[in-house]
Amino acid sequence: MSEKHVNPDLVNPELESQFDTVLVVDFGAQYAQLIARRVREAHVYSEIVPHTITAAEIVEHSPAGVIFSGGPKSVHVPNAPLIDPEVYDTGVPVLGICYGAQLMSLQRGGEVANTGRGEYGKTDLAVLGDGGVLLRSDQPRFQSVWMSHFDSITKPPEGARVLATTPDVPAAAFEDHGRKLYGVQFHPEVAHTPYGQEILKHFLYDACGCRPTWTMTSIIEEQVHAVREQVGSGRAICGLSGGVDSAVAAALVHKAIGPQLTCVFVDTGLMRSGEGEQVVETFRRNFGIELLHVRAADRFFDRLEGIVDPEEKRKAIGELFIRVFEDSSGGIDDARFLVQGTLYPDVIESGGGAADTIKSHHNVGGLPEDIEFELVEPLRWLFKDEVRRVGEELGLPEEIVWRQPFPGPGLGVRIIGEVTPEKVATLQHADAIVREEIKKAGLEREIWQAFAVLPDIRSVGVMGDERTYAHPIIIRAVTSEDAMTADWARLPYDLLERMSSRIINEVAGVNRVAYDITSKPPGTIEWE
Ligand code: XMP
């Protein structure tokens, strides 16, 4: 048997057989996920595969099309990521984007020059002739596109014709319709390319002949079926964290197996203020299902004593979480299945894709190896925006579907250094103020996440006539589309001031407030 290059965790033969599928080849940056999401927004199922995939392996998936993502490297550096050139002879339509288009050009007899004239940001694209399949007549002849490249395609692949140019790139879009090879030097997947989604749709519908069947209704149907198949007449338990992912996972599984599901809410002591009660109240009322409320804060605090390393902390929380489940399944000790709200990006970020392991996500990498449950992961193939739409479709209340993301390990990863009950209380209080003020300012939906972080340092201050030596609180507020990238939110100064003075006046043991102005990358959203 030859070596397999595709992580089986990232591809789903069932979905491939039911939906027209496009494989997005990841050339090592995070562009691939955005492309995959855009493809799905066009109602076509997509999967992410590494660039080491062979042509034969691609054919095994019977994709309707393949898209090469952009990448951070130049095609001219010695270890530039390549692709099996036989892919061009499989007859499967291929669209190269940025690096992907350059690679295709290079591998097919075109030329990519290091002209010394890179392009970054918005550029004017001029469409030539009929614009081909990608830029046909329904597209403006002149349009703005987003560029981010240094090398430049000076000659398209042998046999391809140029469809558009920009001031610096002679072959900004090209096609060889006969061989079904297409390329764009710009990024159609980003919002800064206003007609980008249309261009992708032309590739999907006109070049690949995809049918737009990937809808939330069909996903729900498919997953309800898959969960029934997997669980049979068995019993499943689902941990509710209060977050949207576990809530939607529970609702979906409940739709599939009804009373065979019991929800368990493990109160780790690491939740936000008031959240535990809210979770219990909402799920008992909305689902009318049995819900066990397990108060396990003491066990978590004991386990976390002395742990300062972020990865160790994440693993410890993830592991104990499962143990508490096992221990607390008294009335449901016949449960063999554990429902988890793992998402497709969690799997990719945990090392499934070409991108490095960024953090071991609580619900993936943190699992102990001797886990006693079989996992049911009905959202494993979905992106966050899809999960929200599934949640709405399932009739979950808005406040749950649109709740800000909250990490599995909870406040544990927002307390830098050792986690103690006192620090959690301090952080909960400060965090409640941050969220309350954001809500009052009407910024809840605009802000992706806003929260407080408690670092393991102290600084000197003065309050009244007293010298203080206490902890600072860091406010983190970001805007983002998908958490893959994020920008620090430009919160109004008066809002920041209100948060700051309220935190210092109301939260004991805090004498300073700082605002985190780091975007992602290079930072991450969470501090650990
Ligand atoms: P980072 O910090 O990696 O976070 O930029 C990206 C998004 O993921 C959330 N996050 C988690 N979600 N389990 C989760 O379910 C986790 O272990 C976890 N860690 C981070 C984070 O809040 C942000 O929305």
170 & 278 share domain = no
50 & 131 share domain = yes
Is 229 annotated as catalytic? no
Q: Tokens 């490095």 map to which residue?
A: 356
Q: CB-based contacts of 460: which residues, under 8 Å, 6+ apart? A: 467, 468, 469
220 & 201 share domain = no
Exposed / middle / buried, residue 522 (Cβ in 10 Å: 0-12, 13-18, 19+): exposed
Residue with CA nearest ligand 1 atom 24: 405
Distance from residue 524's CA to the centre of ligand 1 (Å): 9
Residue 116's pLDDT is 65
| pLDDT cut 90: percent of the chain above it | 71
Q: Give pLDDT tens digits for 242-299.
A: 788 999 999 999 999 999 999 988 899 999 998 888 778 878 877 777 888 999 999 9
> Does 417 or 399 have the greater pLDDT score?
417
Q: Give pLDDT tens digits for 370-403.
A: 557 899 999 999 998 999 999 999 988 777 888 8
Is 446 annotated as catalytic? no
Band the pLDDT of 362: cuts 50, 70, 90: very low
* 414 occurs within a structural domain: no
Distance from residue 527's CA to the centre of ligand 1 (Å): 10
363 & 486 share domain = no
Residue with CA nearest ligand 1 atom 6: 483
* 507 occurs within a structural domain: yes
436 & 396 share domain = no
pLDDT at 368 over 70: no
144 & 223 share domain = no
Q: Which of 401, 429, 452 corresponds to the end of one domain?
A: 401
If you ran DSSP here, which 8-state letter would residue 202 be given?
Answer: I
pLDDT at 363 over 80: no
CA atoms of 328 and 64, how far apart (whole Å): 47
190 & 228 share domain = no
Contact 325, 350 (CB under 8 A): no
397 & 450 share domain = no
Catalytic residue among 47, 61, 98, 208: 98
271 & 391 share domain = yes
Locate the ligand 1 atom nearest the alpha carbon of residue 527 and give its number.
2
Could you tell me the CATH number of the domain that includes residue 317?
3.40.50.620
* 234 occurs within a structural domain: yes
- Report the DSSP beta bridge partners of residue 226: none
Residue with CA nearest ligand 1 atom 4: 525
* 410 occurs within a structural domain: no
* 412 occurs within a structural domain: no
For ligand 1, say whether the CB of 409 is within 6 Å of any of its atoms: yes
Nearest to 476 by CA among 518, 417, 505, 433: 518
Q: Which of 158, 177, 207 corresponds to the end of one domain?
A: 207
Contact 203, 63 (CB under 8 A): no
Whether the predicted model's global pTM rises above the 0.75 cut: yes
Q: Give pLDDT tens digits for 455-475.
A: 999 999 998 889 999 999 999
Residue 288's pLDDT is 79
187 & 233 share domain = no
pLDDT at 356 over 50: no
Distance from residue 53's CA to the centre of ligand 1 (Å): 29
Residue 117's pLDDT is 66
Is 41 annotated as catalytic? no
Domain with 78, as residue range(s), is 8-207
Locate the ligand 1 atom nearest the alpha carbon of residue 343 and give its number.
15
Distance from residue 316's CA to the centre of ligand 1 (Å): 16
319 & 441 share domain = no
Could you tell me the CATH number of the domain that includes residue 444?
3.30.300.10
Nearest to 403 by CA among 387, 383, 380: 387
Distance from residue 243's CA to the centre of ligand 1 (Å): 11
Residue 66's pLDDT is 98
Contact 155, 186 (CB under 8 A): no
56 & 197 share domain = yes
Band the pLDDT of 445: cuts 50, 70, 90: confident
* 183 occurs within a structural domain: yes
Catalytic residue among 16, 119, 189, 349: 189
* 522 occurs within a structural domain: no
Q: Give pLDDT tens digits for 24-81.
A: 999 987 789 999 999 999 999 999 999 999 999 999 999 999 999 998 888 988 899 9
Mean local confidence (pLDDT), 169-190? 95
* 408 occurs within a structural domain: no
Pocket test for ligand 1, best of 317, 359, 488, 516 (most atoms within 8 A of CB): 359
Number of domain units in the chain:
3
Could you tell me the CATH number of the domain that includes residue 131?
3.40.50.880
Mean pLDDT (the chain) is 90
Q: Give pLDDT tens digits for 315-355.
A: 999 999 888 877 876 566 678 899 999 999 888 877 654 43
